[in-house]
A and B are shown apart, each in its own frame.
Chain A
């Protein structure tokens, strides 16, 4: 499947999850997306999955305590200033599960996008804005590079016996990371110019033509959005 068709399908799955009103429907979509994510053979898979699932679980835990709906009380807690009574009802649990699963599904769709799609090809399909697309590609690359630089900096400081702990310790990393990024940016600009970037005439590597599976993917995305809106 081409990157653009896959992106449309992932967007369709995420939109269907947001539109669906039944917990079971959203759960099925979330499981489907989880299975897609598990296909990614990336060392970052665990990090992305944690980032996709943990906020949803947190929402599930907090929602019933802060919500004020339903009559079937399962647990009644103390009165807290500003928040009111901390109680949990069956209806609140249902709402918490629905919204937590929606959040998880959207997070998993983004995880699949980040780990499985060829971003270069996806952005290249925006042929009317090649430079903007390239800027997005470079920004995408910046995140793991910054992460590696931060890890390297922490390791270098620990190697000198300097612990990097707490907010203040990590805040100290900000300035050298920004300075390092600026250095990298200058070096990259030099390399890009040496590789011909900015010439008036360019060509494109041929992109694979859309096949039946791509059209099927986009059709499925549209169907999922409609189903999410009308039936799920």
Chain B
């Protein structure tokens, strides 16, 4: 008997005109790991919410069909009643942490599902150890990095010993090694795991089965090997195809030169004598594990930070796109948001929105847009001023492969037009002329097209 099943489930959010999920039918067996792929807004999160009972109970809206999870119909059982048998790790760890100290955070769910008191601390320790976070037990949740918080959230889910674990882009803030360790832990639990991921290659490495969604419909439900072939043929961006840089695009004069830069946060040194130059026409990526100084070096280049020792020389104007730009929107209208960077020039703003496929949303409120659209709005708001140096901090985080390929193609064109581009990223497939690896010894590799 299936552990969980959706039988022709359709759901339309209360504020939406189109269904988020249409006629979804799927059955999950105990212990299997299923990857859920698809573009932003395709219904991946809605599928996971259906399995957690959050749809329809938390979100409201129109629900039809039947969802059965661990033998209970979700129309009758509320999400809180399913908790314990079902555990969910959401995309943004900061939006799901309740308590101020890590061990209490992991204990929160155990207390809610009435775990016997005598077992709670033992299970907390066990779960933290499973995700390699034992040393964080006494730390305050407000002082942890995004990656550390994601591990704590996984520990909080594991502590429940769920039969069904739902992971909604759970590795978005982890470096490649951290993401791999996270997924290895999740796949070794013995419970059924449903994993929604935009880092497709890694998800396919761990999954036994793949669901591919588009426009709220399950387009593909196949074993991983067959899914790889299907993706290669029908959705090549999901199979790893990416724009390449033009080797004939010879970089010219430097737009930014960082010489022997030192920077530390309190007692923690992140840059010690680092040097970097980025030239016009050039794309340079900064890679390395969490905490290796990628963002700090990017901010030095953009002029948002000053080195504590060393020198930064910049020619022309720099623009900087922060991590998670969709969260940092300041205006009431989309066109005003973009015009902010060019002194209110609405014509330039509309042209930039058009370039990023958002002209239709010019008069909308930025927070009415989907997460993927907000990401593009953030890029449009920085790119509208056509800065000589464009600095992007993790621009592909949470972005689906097709949007990522579009972004990569745009960046290649932007650099070819004589601008310099510096990208801090965990994504080793992003097109670049040079890749600089931080963390430990700084190494540099020139990329052949």
Instruction: Give complex CA distance A199, B96 in Å.
Output: 18
Q: Is the CB of A194 within 8 A of B304?
A: no
A contact residues, total (Cβ < 8 Å): 51
Q: Which residues of A contact B94 (CB under 8 A)?
A: 145, 184
Query: Does B80 lie within 8 Å of A193, measured CB to CB?
Result: yes
**What residue of chain A has the Cβ atom nearest to residue B322's Cβ?**
A156
Size category, B interface: 35 or more
Q: Is the CB of B112 within 8 A of A118?
A: no
Q: Once the chains bind, are A202 and B112 in contact (CB under 8 Å)?
A: yes
CB proximity of A1 to chain B, nearest CB, Å: 14
Q: Are A196 and B96 in contact (CB under 8 A)?
A: no
Chain B residues with CB under 8 A of A162: 340-341
A79 contacts partner chain B, Cβ-Cβ < 8 Å: no
B2 contacts A by Cβ under 8 Å: no
- Closest Cβ of chain A to B156, distance in Å, is 7
Q: Report yes or no: B341 in contact with A161, Cβ–Cβ below 8 A.
A: yes
Q: Is the CB of A153 within 8 A of B114?
A: no
A149 lies within 8 A of B101 (CB): no
Complex Cα distance A158/B378, Å? 13
Answer yes or no: B263 CB below 8 A from chain A CBs: no
Which stretch of B9-17, B212-220, B224-232, B326-334 is in the interface?
B326-334
A residues near B324, Cβ cutoff 8 Å: 152
Find out whether the CB atom of B330 lies under 8 angstroms from the CB atom of A153.
yes
Identify A140's interface contact among B81, B88, B100, CB under 8 A: B100
**Hey, which chain A residues are within 8 Å of B95, CB to CB?**
184, 187-188, 191
Q: Which residues of A contact B88 (CB under 8 A)?
A: 191, 194-195
CB pair B58 A190 closer than 8 Å? yes
Within A171-212, the residues touching B (CB, 8 Å) are: 172-173, 175-176, 179-180, 183-184, 187-199, 201-206
Provide the residues of chain A in CB contact with B46, threshold 8 Å: none
Known contacts A152-B322, A187-B90: A194-B79 contact under CB 8 Å: yes
Chain A contacts for B299, CB-based, 8 A? 155
Q: How far is the CA of A153 from the CA of B304 in the complex (A)?
A: 13
- CA–CA, A155 and B325, complex, Å: 10
B238 within 8 A of A: no
B95-130 to A contact mask, C-beta < 8 Å, 1/0: 111111100100111111111111011001000000
CA distance A201 to B113 in the complex (A): 7
Query: Does any Cβ of A come within 8 Å of B29's Cβ?
Result: no
Establish whether residues A180 and B113, one from each chain, have CB atoms under 8 Å apart when the complex forms: no
- The answer to whether A173 and B111 have CB atoms under 8 Å apart is no
Contact A141 B111 (CB under 8 A): no
Q: Which residue of B lies closest to A130 (CB)?
A: B111
Which chain B residues border A141 with CB–CB below 8 Å?
A: 97-98, 100, 141-142
Q: Is the CB of B84 within 8 A of A196?
A: yes
Question: B92 at the A/B interface (Cβ < 8 Å)?
Answer: yes
* Residue B367 interfacial (CB < 8 Å): yes
Please name the residue on chain A nearest to B53 by beta carbon. Answer: A194
Q: Which of B96, B113, B141, B332 contacts A188 (CB 8 A)?
A: B96
- Whether A194 pairs with B143 at a CB distance below 8 angstroms is no
In whole angstroms, what is the CA distance A130 to B291 when docked?
37
Instruction: Select which of A144, A158, A198, A203 is within 8 A of B80 by beta carbon.
Output: A198
For A184, the chain B residues whose CB sits under 8 A away are 94-95
B385 at interface by CB-CB < 8 Å: yes
Interface string of A91-135 (1 = CB under 8 A from B): 000000000000000000000000000111100000000000010
Residue of A120, A137, A155, A199 near B113 (CB, 8 A) is A199
Which of B80, B97, B109, B382 counts the most A-chain CB atoms under 10 A from its CB? B80
Q: Please indicate the chain B residues that have their CB under 8 angstroms from the CB of A183 in the complex.
A: 367
Residues of B within 8 A of A43 (CB): 143, 265-266
Taking a contact as CB atoms under 8 Å apart, the answer to whether A137 and B100 are in contact is yes
Interface centre among B104, B113, B124, B328 (most CB of A within 10 A): B328
Interface presence of A58 (CB below 8 A): no
Question: Chain A nearest CB: distance from B215 CB in Å?
Answer: 23
Contacts A141-B97, A160-B381, A205-B107: A196 and B113 contacting too (C-beta < 8 A)? yes
A196 to B95, CA, bound (A): 16
A161, A162, A189 pick with most chain B CB within 10 angstroms: A161
A160 to B317, CA, bound (A): 10
A residues less than 8 Å from B79 (CB atoms): 193-194
Q: Using an 8 Å CB-CB cutoff, how does the interface string of B138-168 with A read, 1 for contact, 0 for none?
A: 0011110000000000001000000000000
What chain A residues lie within 8 Å of B143 (beta carbons)?
Answer: 42-43
Q: Which single member of A161, A175, A195 contacts B112 (CB below 8 Å)?
A: A195
Residues on the B chain within 8 Å of A202, using CB: 111-112, 114
Q: How far is the CA of A102 from the CA of B387 in the complex (A)?
A: 53
B54 at interface by CB-CB < 8 Å: yes
Q: Distance (Å) between the CB of B275 and the closest chain A CB?
A: 23
Q: Residue of B at shortest CB range from A119?
A: B100
For A138, list chain B residues within 8 Å (CB). 98
**Is B319 touching A160 in the complex (CB atoms < 8 A)?**
yes
- The listed residue (B116, B121, B266, B319) touching A161 by CB distance below 8 A is B319
Q: Counting CB contacts under 8 A, is A159 at the interface?
A: yes
Q: Report the 9 A-B pairs with minimum CB-CB distance, sorted nearest first.
A: A159-B320, A196-B83, A196-B112, A191-B96, A156-B328, A187-B95, A160-B341, A120-B104, A205-B120
Q: A42-B140, A160-B382, A199-B80 are in contact. List 5 more A-B contacts (CB 8 A).
A: A141-B98, A149-B328, A161-B385, A194-B54, A195-B87
Interface residues of B (CB under 8 A from A): 52, 54, 57-58, 78-81, 83-84, 86-88, 90, 92, 94-101, 104, 107-118, 120-121, 124, 140-143, 156, 265-266, 299, 302, 304, 317, 319-322, 324-325, 327-330, 332, 340-341, 367, 378, 381-382, 385, 387, 391
